[in-house]
Amino acid sequence: MSSAPGIAFQILQSVFVVLAAPLLVGWVNQCRAWLQNRSAPSILLPYYTLAKLFNKDAVFAHDASPIFRWTPYILFGCMWLAAGIVPVLATGLPFAPAADIIALVGVFALARMFSALAAMDIGTSFGGLGARREMLIGFLAEPAMLMTLFTAAFMSGSTQLTTIVDTLAHREFALYPSLAFAAVAFLMVLLAENARIPIDNPTTHLELTMVHEALILEYSARHLALIEWAVAIKLFAYMTIGIALFAPWGIADAGDWSALPYAFAALAGKLALAGAGLALIETLLAKLRLFLAPEFLSTAFLLAVLGMLTHFLVKG
Amino acid sequence: MEIALVLGVPLLGALLLALAGHRSWAPELNATMSFATFFATTLLTARVIAGGTMVWLDERFIVDPSNVLLVALAGLLREQFFVDPFNVFLVALTAFVGFTTALFSRPYMRTEQDHGRVNPARLRLYHSMYQLFTFTMLLCLLSNNVGVMWVAMEGATLSTVLLVSLYRTPASLEAAWKYFILCSVGLAQALFGTILLYFAAEKVLGPGGTALLWTHLHQVRGQLEPTVLSLAFVFLLVGYGTKVGLVPLHNWLPDAHAEGPTPISAVLSGLLLNVALYAVVRSKVLVDGALGRNFSGGLMMGFGLLSVVVAAFFLSRQRDIKRMFAYSSVEHMGIMTFAFGMGGAVAAFAGLLHMTVHSLTKSAIFFTVGHASQAAGTQNMDSIRGLIQTSPTLGWGLVLGSLAILGLPPFGVFTSEFMVLTTAMHEHSWATPFLLVALVVAFASIFGRVQPMVFGETTAQRLPRGPALVPVFAHLAIVLALGLYIPPYLVGWYRQAAALIG
Amino acid sequence: MAIPLLAQLVNVLAAFLLLIAFAMLSQRRVLTLIKLLAWQGAALATSTAIVAWSTGQTHLYYSALITVLLKVILIPWVLHRLIDRLFVRWDIETLINIPTTMLIGIGLVIFAFALATPISQMATTLTRSTLGIALASVLLSFLMMIVRQKAVPQVIGFLAMENGLFFAATSATYGMPLVVELGVALDVLVGTFIFGIFFFHIRERFDSLDIRHMEKLKED
């Protein structure tokens, strides 16, 4: 599979992910605007924002260390890597052996660690506050995420994301309560990890509640653009992981060019639905107080564990 | 047909007393219905002595096939009841103590009414529930269906819970709530055990009615799945054991005994605990068939021994006289559980005998205690003094009853405890020191408490209404007689029962 | 691996029951607890009806019907009326904080599954695998009764436990004989009414339904 078509597929997928991620964010924002009876911004707005930011001059704090400068690149790299190895369009890609679920969680954790370090680097109070909150959420979300992935891994007998997707995509249809539990848990983790309502509100800078925005308060220009872009890719990656685990139908095999249009269409449809769903959730729910976040995430963990246990008991 | 009578009379009594339980003659009606029940059980006992084990409705019972309703009813009741030497003796005992307690409750409840602790509406509840309680216990004993046995046991809880809180004092409400919650939760475990039992039986006997019938289960007990049955027994033991009052599931027992009206304490201690133990032993027989004796016996011996020891030490710390004797009940139920756990003909014989004498003695003690605390106006033992002055018969009743329950030689309790101890020495010698220490501690604490209550100086007045002491001395006389001489037919009867369960 | 669709449905309902048991454990509001109880009853009745349909056991239809009448309509309604009359709308305080309770709950589920697995393997019924879930929801209700301080949630825990037992009966054995089920249903009904009477008595005496007031009877 490491032949030329495989590599072509891999490159295609990686480029596609990076280019499509802001579109997804735009789509979610648009949906949310509709649902909240506002006039929607253009779906391409994230691209304009990125372009605008890239054209500005970067400003740094006097005592910023190299960590602060590097972090946007590391973040972007991590997210790109993650999105590149998740089977988005096709299974069996050359990078697929790297797409181990534990490695994947590790990549996300690396990104989180650097963003927390960078936030503390300047020494402003908001940075420290944001870093602390971010680490709290991450500390609780990570086990839930792992448990969710393990449920799927147990069902297919492998921690390789590709194998999991392969197994799940080609099984006969059946109702799997364990996967339902895992799906709900995953959704909760997705909301928490991507700084969405009810854990965080991506559109405010209210110092009492902000988590993610506090982390990146000191960034400007191209660095901010990279981070925003990385955030978009992260959302994209999470959504594609969710799709791969819980609705993998229609994914192509590597090298199978004929299946590609179909895979594209299926992915676009599923992402559109998922984005609309995310907007709906954000509209319906209110933000939780920060100290309720542990409860929210422990519920996610609980559901994930239940899913795993249910799998062992009812074999499904 | 006698079975229908035994169950029908208390049910009818419950209905009648639900309508007329507040009238001035209701206590007499209550006693009459209890006597009628007792009379019906003597008929049943005579029938069983003559004809041996019987199942009702059996195939000899034929109904008019044209009457659809009757046929359906007969189908529903087919083989639902059975009598063998084990349960018939408990049925007779239950009906007898039920009757004597009704006699005792006549003046007792009237005095309580004079003191303003109960009003006519509550007396109606009391009388009706008393009969219903008798009914549920008899149903539990006579039912051949393990599921119905559970239903009846839960019914016994439900019918007594409002009796425990009859006085509506904060303490009695608390006791009743505890009783209700703990026993319901306990019985829920027993229901799970019953479900597991059915689950195991269904594979052998097929789904439907017969898979819960004890007689059928008994026949196929060797074929039941051991893993399932062992789990089922754990749940059944914990569940019914809560009702037996085994430590550590005994928390409800002292409270319920201390805060309820004394006649209810007497029947709870004397009868309900026996019935619950009966359910445990019935389950044990089935499990032993599938697993051999070690598993269930070991568990029961463990629980029994723990109950004996813990209860004996708690005994010494009580101030409330009814609480103290409630702990004594826990101790004695522990001895019985231990005896049945050891198994074998002698131990089972001793267990059955102990069931009989304990139930008679303990209810007699509660009768005297009830009158004594009524006269003193308190249940606190430090305030009850000089019973021998106010009412010599009452005082002697308490002394004799306490001596009997402590296992002093001429009384029947001595015989059964002696048999339990000797069997334990032979088969499980490690357990004997615990038993002996517990008995000694219990002896010291009860005797030390009773002695000043009976012989001390007092200023208390006699009650205007004379106590009903006939039941006390009747019970004690029987216990004494059983200690001196057990009639051969009773021995035969116990032996048969012991053979069934040992 | 191929499990018939109906059995899969029962499995899903079983998972739903387990979820409700946890939801009850984490729930702070009494009204929501009552709603959850009704939902649990509905899931129970549905699964009973599915088992009845797939196995052709007519008596299970009756027990499904009884479940609907009793546990989805009557008892929640009675409880609702009760708390309306008693003005108990407070949030419940728990003895242990909720995440810890959840962790204990997970432990109980694992215990229940471990206990039930050898038995499930022996069962011949289609829905045998749900026995562990039934046992787990019984234990979880038990936990709920332990950690809750007020009378009403304790009763709801008790009823939830009964639901779990009922589910065990239908899932492991296709239901107990009808006589027994009727008897159990009667006991539950009478029990609920007695609980109701109790609430008034307790309220009258203690001016509260907090059972911490009822800890006077203790050994010194």
Q: Which of A218-222, B139-143, B312-316 has the highest mean pLDDT?
A: B139-143
How sure is the predictor about C94, in pLDDT bands with cuts at 50, 70 and 90? Answer: low
Chains touching B (at least 3 CB pairs under 8 A) are: C
Contacts 24+ apart (CB under 8 A), A112-118: A112/A138, A114/A67, A114/A70, A114/A71, A114/A74, A114/A75, A114/A78, A115/A71, A115/A75, A115/A215, A115/A216, A115/A227, A116/A215, A117/A67, A117/A71, A118/A67, A118/A68, A118/A71, A118/A215
Q: Is B175 on the interface with C (CB under 8 A)?
A: yes
* pLDDT exceeds cutoff 80 at B27: yes
Token readout for A312 is 């062992």
Q: Which residues are paired to B61 by β-bridges? A: none
- Assign B353 to helix, strand or coil: helix
SS (H, E, C) B396-444: HHHHHHHHHHCCCCCCHHHHHHHHHHHHHHHHCHHHHHHHHHHHHHHHH
pLDDT for the residue C3? 61
Token readout for B444 is 């010291």
pLDDT for the residue B441? 93
Tokens 């509260």 sit at which residue? Answer: C208
**Residue bearing the bigger pLDDT, C5 or A229:** A229
User: Looking at chain C from residue 1 to 60, which residues have their Cβ under 8 Å from any Cβ of chain A?
Assistant: 1-3, 5, 8-9, 11-12, 14-16, 18-19, 22, 26
How sure is the predictor about B65, in pLDDT bands with cuts at 50, 70 and 90? Answer: confident
Amino acid identity for residue C93 in this structure: E
User: Looking at chain B from residue 246 to 285, which residues have their Cβ under 8 Å from any Cβ of chain C?
Assistant: 255, 258-259
How sure is the predictor about C220, in pLDDT bands with cuts at 50, 70 and 90? Answer: low
Amino acid identity for residue B328 in this structure: S
Distance from CA of A314 to the nearest CA of C (A): 5
* pLDDT exceeds cutoff 70 at C2: no
pLDDT for the residue A316? 47
**Average pLDDT of the residues in B368-385:** 87
B183-192, B482-491, C154-163, C203-212: least confidently modelled range: C203-212
* pLDDT exceeds cutoff 70 at A197: yes
A200-209, A279-288, B68-77: least confidently modelled range: A200-209
Q: Which residues are paired to C148 by β-bridges? A: C94
C183 with B148: Cβ contact below 8 A: yes
pLDDT for the residue B486? 87
pLDDT digits (tens, 9 = 90+) for B293-319: 678 889 999 999 999 999 999 988 888
pLDDT digits (tens, 9 = 90+) for C134-146: 888 889 998 888 8
The answer to whether residues B413 and B404 touch, using CB atoms and an 8 Å cutoff, is yes
Q: Is B121 on the interface with C (CB under 8 A)?
A: no
**Residue bearing the bigger pLDDT, C14 or B141:** B141
Q: Is C104 on the interface with A (CB under 8 A)?
A: no
Q: Is B195 on the interface with C (CB under 8 A)?
A: yes
pLDDT for the residue C184? 86
**Average pLDDT of the residues in B89-96:** 92
Phi–psi pair at A63, nearest 5 degrees? -100, 30
- Parallel, antiparallel, or unpaired for β A90-91 and A252-253? parallel
Q: State the Rg of chain B over Cα.
A: 22
**Average pLDDT of the residues in B40-65:** 81
The beta-carbon neighbor of B173 closest among C177, C186, C205 is C205
User: Looking at chain B from residue 69 to 88, which residues have their Cβ under 8 Å from any Cβ of chain C?
Assistant: 76, 80
Which residue in A242, A226, A263, A122 sits closest to A193, CA to CA? A242
* pLDDT exceeds cutoff 50 at B109: yes
pLDDT digits (tens, 9 = 90+) for A37-56: 888 788 888 888 888 888 88
pLDDT for the residue B421? 93
A294 with C1: Cβ contact below 8 A: no
pLDDT > 70 fraction of chain B, expressed in percent and rounded: 98
A178 with C15: Cβ contact below 8 A: yes
**Residue bearing the bigger pLDDT, A291 or B135:** B135
Token readout for B327 is 């702990």
Contacts 24+ apart (CB under 8 A), A42-50: A46/A22, A46/A228, A46/A232, A47/A22, A47/A23, A49/A225, A49/A228, A50/A22, A50/A225, A50/A228, A50/A229
Round the average pLDDT of chain A to a whole number and report it: 80
Phi–psi pair at A219, nearest 5 degrees? -90, 150
Task: List the single residue in A with minimal CA-CA distance to C110.
Answer: A309
Q: Which of B56-60, B328-332, C54-58, C168-172 has the highest mean pLDDT?
A: B328-332
* pLDDT exceeds cutoff 50 at A1: no
